[in-house]
């Protein structure tokens, strides 16, 4: 009994140990998932390294959280991978960083018979990776891609191999890029959108989908190229394996809608060639041409164009581009009454052709960022125009350039309206420094010359209100102005204030009553410069040669709305004989020149002269010629006057002139001198006074005959004495 009891006792002790071991093993089996769950953040990196061993990329994770039913959160995920060379481009290393993300998955059977046949006894897992931000950049640092709230979905097939080994095979990947950014130096693409979709069934080729870039930003400033759209797919032409093809492309270029059927980018050469087309673009949408209102637009009509472009290494080379304007395309200028008085006709086919330029993206230039254009030249209106280099700088919204014109036939495109008519002809040469912004344009010291000539006709409309207010009489007549070889110096501010320094070879004024030739007229004209009254046009430093002498106006402010102004007309060194010949005299001959000042006040179509004075600059001679018959028929007193004026040497010649608005005028002339052949050369003083309607006299050119009548009258008065 003792032996059997000991054996039983030993068996019972073994069973107890077995139960304890089994309990411990069961406890370990129960605690293992919990331990694995609890210690997962510590060995997650090790599991990742084992799973990706031998793969051409490396994954680093940090801040991994405890798994739950929604997935696994992480603070940072860093993926380093390399793209091998493929004959089109060299090897490149990239770094992809995701921050504050969530990795979740869903496991299911393959959902299609094809997938089941391809991967028997496999499960499909849909892995979703979401994060607050995504950053992708190459090792070279050439660019950086950034995206907010990315969501990447990867579908994989998981199949059992041997033991605990499993095979993971990717099936598809999708990433909808929405409002991402691409940065290269100071250059940034904003609002990048693209639906990336890759699958094993389609040999990991991206199907064609729409890519969109909303803005091009340089150094924080929006550039004139925006809203780029195109269709893109990663499939390549076997005959051109290094070519990426973008089709149905469009973009906004300086407000114009530019399109091209395709853009082929050569990965090996990093170059592209395409032709941008612009069709029916309103001219008013161009920077600097959008001024005016609905009823007074500065620019009207539409333009089209074709711009062939070669792109290589951030450089755009434009060759043989052209701009075509439609019928009626014009620039318009208005009076203060909002009536057009001048237009520049730009219609008629190819306005600009043979346009060449070189445009560089200056994204890494410390001084200039954005776009820089150089080598610009084109054929314009049959002539040639070139431009200095220009930078579309991000630091400013203003574009500055200087255009040079050579033999441009622009004058013949000028049209005059309203009271004006005529024609201009000739080639234009010069330089035009421009500053262009969204608010308009400015000009600084533009120099324009022409060897041509023009004819302007002033033909005011006759109404009941102005029929009686003609300048030279009661009937209004057309006035023709012919000028030649103009030279202009033009300045214009952004608010429209314009200053024109002008000079011409000559100006000929012609009416039914006669001609007036001005030689070398020059002066300064200011328009829209008086911000308190934009109707004021100012003329200053005006001078011109006339009748062998000179006339000048120091300054005049003319109100174009009220048609009023005041000035003083200065005359110098004008031969007296020229004035007499102009008035048609037949008996008076004189030497010497006159000078003086004539205050003129203009109101409407009329003007008046207040206390004007004209005097001889030095002594001279006056001869009042008579025939023997006239002297024989004259009485004694008149014969004495004839003798005194037959060879009158004046020492002093003074005159005053006044004229009312209705033309009533008084001209007083005072002569002092002697005739050596008359009464021993005794001193003679002669006072003449002419009262007449000067406007009628000027119209009929009969002033001199009235002077002659005054002389005869004075002689009769002397006879009575």
- Parse the chain into domains and list their residue ranges: 44-184, 205-211+218-434, 563-721
pLDDT at residue 248, as a whole number: 93
pLDDT at residue 462, as a whole number: 45
Q: Would you give the distance in Å from CA 445 to the centre of its chain? A: 17
pLDDT at residue 364, as a whole number: 46
Query: Which residue matches tokens 């892995």?
Result: 127
CA–CA separation, 444 vs 402, rounded Å?
A: 9
Tell me how far CA of residue 194 lies from CA of 72, 108, 173, 206, 371, in angstroms.
27, 29, 14, 11, 26
CA–CA separation, 198 vs 261, rounded Å?
A: 25
Are 397 and 404 spatial neighbours (Cβ–Cβ below 8 Å)?
A: no
Answer whether residue 629 shows pLDDT above 90. no
pLDDT at residue 132, as a whole number: 93
Are 573 and 598 spatial neighbours (Cβ–Cβ below 8 Å)?
A: no
pLDDT at residue 471, as a whole number: 40
- In eight-state DSSP terms, residue 413 is G
- In eight-state DSSP terms, residue 327 is T
Answer whether residue 359 shows pLDDT above 90. no
Range of lowest pLDDT (288-297, 362-371, 599-608, 688-697): 362-371
pLDDT at residue 703, as a whole number: 44
Answer whether residue 707 shows pLDDT above 60. no
pTM above 0.85, yes or no: no
Specify the DSSP element, H or E, that contains 498.
strand 498-503
pLDDT at residue 81, as a whole number: 80
Q: Does residue 715 sit in helix, strand or coil?
A: helix
CA–CA separation, 685 vs 675, rounded Å?
A: 11
Mean pLDDT of 117-144: 80
Other beta carbons less than 10 A from residue 296's beta carbon: 14
Answer whether residue 206 shows pLDDT above 90. no
Top pLDDT among 721 and 668 is at 668
pLDDT band at 211 (very low <50, low <70, confident <90, very high): very high
Mean pLDDT of 678-684: 86
Residue whose C-alpha is closest to residue 346's, from 316, 388, 381: 381
pLDDT band at 705 (very low <50, low <70, confident <90, very high): very low
pLDDT band at 465 (very low <50, low <70, confident <90, very high): very low
For the chain, the 3-state helix, strand and coil shares in percent, each to the nearest 5, are 15, 55, 25
CA–CA separation, 397 vs 35, rounded Å?
A: 63
- Residue 83 tokens read as 């793209």
Specify the DSSP element, H or E, that contains 624.
strand 620-624
Top pLDDT among 350 and 580 is at 350
Answer whether residue 412 shows pLDDT above 60. yes
Mean pLDDT of 406-425: 82
Query: Which residue matches tokens 């000027």?
Result: 698
Answer whether residue 406 shows pLDDT above 70. yes
Mean pLDDT of 483-489: 90
Residue whose C-alpha is closest to residue 251's, from 224, 270, 273: 224
Query: pLDDT digit string (tens) for 428-456?
Result: 999 999 988 777 789 999 999 988 888 77
Residues 6+ apart with CB under 8 A from 288: 434, 436, 437, 440, 441
> Nearest 5°: phi and psi at 576?
-65, -35
CA–CA separation, 46 vs 170, rounded Å?
A: 21
pLDDT at residue 111, as a whole number: 56
pLDDT band at 469 (very low <50, low <70, confident <90, very high): very low
Other beta carbons less than 10 A from residue 62's beta carbon: 12
Answer whether residue 50 shows pLDDT above 70. no
Residues 6+ apart with CB under 8 A from 573: 548, 549, 550, 593, 595, 617
pLDDT at residue 312, as a whole number: 79
CA–CA separation, 154 vs 148, rounded Å?
A: 19
The H helix count followed by the E strand count for the chain is 7, 43
- In eight-state DSSP terms, residue 52 is T
Tell me how far CA of residue 547 lies from CA of 483, 519, 570, 573, in angstroms.
17, 9, 14, 9
Q: How many CA atoms lie within 13 A of 704 on its CB side?
A: 17
Task: Dump strand ranges (E) for 139-270.
Answer: 144-148, 151-160, 166-184, 187-199, 209-218, 221-232, 243-253, 256-266
Answer whether residue 333 shows pLDDT above 80. yes
> Percent of the chain beyond pLDDT 90?
26
CA–CA separation, 309 vs 320, rounded Å?
A: 9
Top pLDDT among 707 and 602 is at 602
Top pLDDT among 52 and 509 is at 509
Specify the DSSP element, H or E, that contains 652.
strand 648-659
pLDDT at residue 695, as a whole number: 61
Are 283 and 345 spatial neighbours (Cβ–Cβ below 8 Å)?
A: no
CA–CA separation, 173 vs 471, rounded Å?
A: 87
pLDDT at residue 252, as a whole number: 86
CA–CA separation, 88 vs 92, rounded Å?
A: 12
Top pLDDT among 365 and 495 is at 495
Top pLDDT among 328 and 552 is at 552
What rounded mean pLDDT belongs to the chain? 79
pLDDT at residue 20, as a whole number: 55
pLDDT band at 366 (very low <50, low <70, confident <90, very high): very low
Answer whether residue 302 shows pLDDT above 80. yes
CA–CA separation, 474 vs 701, rounded Å?
A: 15
- In eight-state DSSP terms, residue 240 is B
Q: If you write DSSP's letter for every residue of 548-579 in order, what string do you get?
A: TEEEEEEEEEEETTTTEEEEEEEEEEEEHHHH
Residues 6+ apart with CB under 8 A from 569: 551, 552, 553, 597, 598, 599, 600
> Nearest 5°: phi and psi at 16?
-65, -45
Range of lowest pLDDT (91-100, 474-483, 551-560, 615-624): 474-483
Query: pLDDT digit string (tens) for 507-557?
Result: 887 876 667 788 999 999 998 888 888 888 899 999 999 988 999 999 999
Q: Would you give the distance in Å from CA 477 to the centre of its chain? A: 42
Quick one: 196 exposed, middle or buried, by C-beta within 10 A (0-12, 13-18, 19+)?
middle
Q: If you write DSSP's letter for every residue of 678-708 in order, what string do you get?
A: SGGG-EEEEEEEEEEEHHHHHHHT-HHHHHH
- In eight-state DSSP terms, residue 207 is P
pLDDT band at 461 (very low <50, low <70, confident <90, very high): very low
pLDDT band at 467 (very low <50, low <70, confident <90, very high): very low
pLDDT at residue 134, as a whole number: 93
pLDDT at residue 365, as a whole number: 46
């Amino acid at each position: 009994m003792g032996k059997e009891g000991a054996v039983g006792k030993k068996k019972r002790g073994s069973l107890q140990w077995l139960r304890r071991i089994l309990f411990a093993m069961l406890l370990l089996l129960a605690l293992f998932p919990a331990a694995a769950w609890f210690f997962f953040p510590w060995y997650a990196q090790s599991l990742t390294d084992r799973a990706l061993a031998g793969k051409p990329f490396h994954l680093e994770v940090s801040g991994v959280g405890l798994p739950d039913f929604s997935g696994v959160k992480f603070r940072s995920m860093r993926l380093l991978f390399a793209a091998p060379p493929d004959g089109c481009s060299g090897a490149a290393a990239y770094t992809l960083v995701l921050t504050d993300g969530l990795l979740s998955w869903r496991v299911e059977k393959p959902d299609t018979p094809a997938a089941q046949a391809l991967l028997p006894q496999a499960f499909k897992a849909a892995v979703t990776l979401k994060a607050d931000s995504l950053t992708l950049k190459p090792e070279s640092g050439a660019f950086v891609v950034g995206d907010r709230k990315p969501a990447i979905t990867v579908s994989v097939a998981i199949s059992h191999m041997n033991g605990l080994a499993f095979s993971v095979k990717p099936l598809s990947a999708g990433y909808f890029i929405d409002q991402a950014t691409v940065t290269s130096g100071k250059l940034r693409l904003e609002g990048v959108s693209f639906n990336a979709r890759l699958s094993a069934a389609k040999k990991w080729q991206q199907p064609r989908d729409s890519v969109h870039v909303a803005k091009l930003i340089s150094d924080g400033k929006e550039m004139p190229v925006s809203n780029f759209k195109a269709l893109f797919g990663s499939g390549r032409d076997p005959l051109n394996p290094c070519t990426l093809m973008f089709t149905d492309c469009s973009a906004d270029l300086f407000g114009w809608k530019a399109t091209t059927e395709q853009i082929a980018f050569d990965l090996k050469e990093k170059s592209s060639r395409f032709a941008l087309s612009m069709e029916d673009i309103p001219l008013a949408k161009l920077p600097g041409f959008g001024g005016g209102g609905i009823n007074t637009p500065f620019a009207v009509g539409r333009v089209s164009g074709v711009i062939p472009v070669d792109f290589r290494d951030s450089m755009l080379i434009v060759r043989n581009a052209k701009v075509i304007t439609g019928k009626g395309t014009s620039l318009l200028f208005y009076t203060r009454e909002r009536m057009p008085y001048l237009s520049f006709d730009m219609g008629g086919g190819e306005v600009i052709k043979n346009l060449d330029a070189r445009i560089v993206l200056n994204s890494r230039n410390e001084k200039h960022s954005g776009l820089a254009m150089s080598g610009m030249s084109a054929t314009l209106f049959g002539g040639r125009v070139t431009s200095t280099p220009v930078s579309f700088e991000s630091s400013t919204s203003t574009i500055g350039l200087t255009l040079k014109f050579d033999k441009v036939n622009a004058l013949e495109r000028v049209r005059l309206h309203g009271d004006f008519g005529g024609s201009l002809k000739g080639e234009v040469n010069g330089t035009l420094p421009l500053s262009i912004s969204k608010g308009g344009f400015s000009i600084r010291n533009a120099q324009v010359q022409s060897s041509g000539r023009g004819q302007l006709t002033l033909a005011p409309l006759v109404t009941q209100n102005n029929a009686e207010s003609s300048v030279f009489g009661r009937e209004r007549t057309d006035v023709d102005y012919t000028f030649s070889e103009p030279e202009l110096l033009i300045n214009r501010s952004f608010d429209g204030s314009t200053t024109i320094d002008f000079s011409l070879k000559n100006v000929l004024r012609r009416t039914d009553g006669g001609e007036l030739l001005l030689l070398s007229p020059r002066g300064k004209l200011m328009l829209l410069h008086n911000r308190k009254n934009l109707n004021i046009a100012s003329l200053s430093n005006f001078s011109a040669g006339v009748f062998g002498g000179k006339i000048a106006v120091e300054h005049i402010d003319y109100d174009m709305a009220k048609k009023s102004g005041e000035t003083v007309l200065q005359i110098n060194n004008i031969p007296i004989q020229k004035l007499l010949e102009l008035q048609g005299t037949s008996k008076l001959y004189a030497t010497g020149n006159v000078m003086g000042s004539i205050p003129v006040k203009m109101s409407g179509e009329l003007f008046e002269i207040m206390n004007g004075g004209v005097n001889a600059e030095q002594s001279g001679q006056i001869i009042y010629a008579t025939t023997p018959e006239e002297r024989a028929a004259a009485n004694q007193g008149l014969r004495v006057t004839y003798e005194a004026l037959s060879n009158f040497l004046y020492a002093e010649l003074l005159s005053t002139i006044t004229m009312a608005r209705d033309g009533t005028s008084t001209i007083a002339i005072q002569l002092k001198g002697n005739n050596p052949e008359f009464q021993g050369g005794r001193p003679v003083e002669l006072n003449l006074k002419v009262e007449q309607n000067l406007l009628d006299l000027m119209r009929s050119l009969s002033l001199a005959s009235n002077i002659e009548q005054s002389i005869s009258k004075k002689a009769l008065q002397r006879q009575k004495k």
